[in-house]
Amino acid sequence: LILCFLILGLVACGGYTPKDNWVLEKSRLGESTEIENYVTSLQDTPDKRGFKIFTIAEGRKMVVVSTGDAEKSLELDDVKVDSGNTKVILKEIENKNDEDNPYIMVGISAIKGELLVQDTDGNSYDEY
């Protein structure tokens, strides 16, 4: 009984942060004109490497990250809160793409503190 109250107390105080993030399928890009326009602009500037944050339904966030290199793809490795900031960690994979500037769209239920985006080697992406 004490253990149950302890767990409920931690949840109520924010001691538990559920993983509520996802990767949006590129086939659903047309659901947001603003994001679709941004992705189109990325294809016009194939060397643009970085990320941009969009607010989507119910206050959730969508982070669009581009590689700036047609020879690399991105996969989501992890999203975590570290030192009060939200960190999106991506895995860069070497392979030829059909896109001029490959990108990934990561949905996050909420961003705590500052948003940092980096690859698994620790290289950061700049915000646009």
**What is the predicted pLDDT for the residue at 59?**
87
DSSP codes joined into one string, 98-114: SSSS-EEEEEES---SS
What would the mean pLDDT of 55-77 be, rounded to a whole number? Answer: 95
Residue scoring higher pLDDT (20 or 85): 85
| pLDDT tens digits, 78-124 | 999 888 999 999 999 998 888 999 999 999 999 999 999 999 999 99
* C-beta of residue 66 within 8 angstroms of C-beta of residue 100: no
- The conformation of residue 20, written as its DSSP 8-state character, comes to -
| pLDDT tens digits, 22-63 | 999 999 999 999 999 999 999 999 999 999 999 998 889 999
